[in-house]
């Protein structure tokens, strides 16, 4: 009996060691394939990576759940850089930016990190572009620090809550940091590689996934254990400030505009956009055929929307 138990424990240990080795080697490969392409500065969460390109009024770009600045650098920045200075950040803990494991992850806390970036880079009242969760962060930034920005141009943003959780995020609903860390270094990477096509179809669909999304769009960075850990914490905290946001829309202190894909499979255009605008008609809405990942799949539509939504022009 003891021999059998020992064999079982040895098999478990070998399996765990194998999973950790796969995770580590994959991490090294994807970091080599998608190196930092911008600059670094320091804020309270540690080193922060950002892309800075173009000249003109500042547009500050905040990405969504599980993503990084490459989502904007894929094509959208190129379409705006002739008339804007585009700053796209890796949110703390994502991409190449640091964040302590126990740092607050709510949208309002992350809005505070973005406010630090504005101050550190001495940005003059940027127009904030936020995608998905980045939209919620932008709303919280506008409500807490309206004097720092000139407006919000939000792409498929989380604004109200109320949608059923997408199956694309089923693996992220972990509330224990210890369990989250264990899964990040064992199961998350191999499962991510196995389920990539299915998850991307839910996130991008019905739009096709760009063939070079993994490298140029930064998607491969999602296979790192750090990304899984941070994304899970962000997902759990994503609705923490919905009541605060909903209470602020009536007197939103800066102009706010939304762009939404009518076929979005992650967030509902009806729940997050149409109902919001019906209740608060000073907020504007543009709808377009397409799914959730508009900065990557419809960059020209996004660029035109951002230009039209800029209250400074």
The string of DSSP letters for 162-193 reads -SPPPGGGGGG----HHHHHHHHTTTHHHHHH
Average pLDDT over residues 159-172: 89
Which pLDDT score is estimated for 10?
65
Which pLDDT score is estimated for 164?
86
9 pLDDT more than 70: no
Which pLDDT score is estimated for 18?
85
Please give the model's pTM, rounded to 2 decimal places: 0.95
Longest dimension (CA), the chain: 78
Query: Residues 6 or more apart from 313 whose CB is under 8 A from it?
Result: 57, 307
Which pLDDT score is estimated for 6?
65
Which pLDDT score is estimated for 145?
98
Helix (H, G, I), strand (E, B) or coil at 76: helix
Average pLDDT over residues 108-136: 98
Architecture of the domain delimited by 37-162+238-309: 3-Layer(aba) Sandwich (3.40)
CA–CA gap between residue 111 and residue 9 (Å, rounded): 46
- The backbone torsions φ and ψ at residue 154, rounded to the nearest 5 degrees and listed phi first, read -105, 135
Confidence of residue 12 (pLDDT cuts 50, 70, 90): low
Which pLDDT score is estimated for 255?
97
Q: What is the pLDDT of residues 201-257, one digit of tens each?
A: 999 999 999 999 999 999 999 999 999 999 999 999 999 999 999 999 999 999 999
Query: Residues 6 or more apart from 195 whose CB is under 8 A from it?
Result: none
CA–CA gap between residue 168 and residue 200 (Å, rounded): 8
Q: Provide the percentage of residues in the chain whose pLDDT is more than 70.
A: 96
268 pLDDT more than 80: yes
Question: Under the phi-then-psi rule, with left for phi > 0, alpha for psi from -120 to 50, and beta for the rest, what region is 232?
Answer: alpha
DSSP letter assigned to residue 284: E
4 pLDDT more than 70: no
Average pLDDT over residues 12-31: 87
Confidence of residue 8 (pLDDT cuts 50, 70, 90): low
Give ∠ CA 45-50-51 in degrees, rounded to 5.
175
Q: How many Cβ atoms sit within 10 Å of the Cβ of residue 79?
A: 17
CA–CA gap between residue 281 and residue 242 (Å, rounded): 19
- Domain chopping of the chain, boundaries: 37-162+238-309
DSSP letter assigned to residue 126: P
User: Is there a cis peptide before residue 193, judged by omega within 30 degrees of 0?
Assistant: no
Which pLDDT score is estimated for 3?
67
Across all residues in the chain, what is the average pLDDT? 95
Which pLDDT score is estimated for 313?
73
214, 304 contact by CB (below 8 A): no
């Amino acid at each position: 009996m003891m021999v059998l138990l020992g064999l079982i424990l040895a098999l478990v240990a070998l399996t765990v060691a194998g999973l950790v080795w796969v995770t580590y080697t994959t991490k090294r490969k994807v970091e080599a394939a998608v190196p930092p392409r911008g600059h670094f500065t320091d804020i309270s969460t540690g080193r922060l990576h950002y892309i800075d390109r173009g000249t003109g009024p500042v547009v500050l770009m905040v990405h969504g759940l599980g993503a990084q600045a490459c989502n904007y650098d894929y094509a959208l920045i190129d379409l705006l850089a002739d008339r804007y200075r585009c700053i796209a950040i890796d949110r703390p803990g994502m991409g190449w930016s640091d964040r302590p494991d126990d740092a607050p992850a709510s949208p309002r806390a992350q809005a505070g990190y973005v406010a630090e970036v504005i101050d550190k880079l001495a940005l003059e009242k940027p127009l904030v572009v936020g995608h998905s969760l980045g939209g919620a962060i932008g709303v919280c930034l506008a409500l807490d620090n309206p004097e720092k920005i000139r407006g919000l141009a939000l792409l498929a943003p989380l604004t109200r809550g109320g949608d059923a959780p997408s199956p694309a995020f089923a693996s992220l609903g972990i509330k224990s940091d210890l369990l989250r860390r264990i899964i990040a270094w064992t199961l998350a990477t191999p499962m991510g590689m196995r389920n990539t096509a299915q998850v991307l179809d839910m996130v991008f669909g019905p739009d096709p996934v760009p063939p070079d999304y993994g490298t140029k769009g930064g998607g491969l960075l999602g296979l790192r254990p750090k990304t899984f850990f941070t994304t899970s914490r962000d997902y759990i905290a994503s609705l923490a400030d919905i009541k605060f946001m909903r209470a602020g829309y009536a007197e939103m202190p800066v102009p706010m505009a939304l762009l939404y894909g009518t076929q979005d499979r992650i967030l509902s255009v009806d729940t997050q956009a149409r109902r919001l605008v019906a209740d608060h008609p000073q907020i504007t809405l543009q709808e377009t055929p397409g799914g959730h990942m508009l900065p990557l799949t419809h960059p020209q539509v996004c660029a035109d929307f951002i230009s039209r939504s800029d209250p400074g022009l």
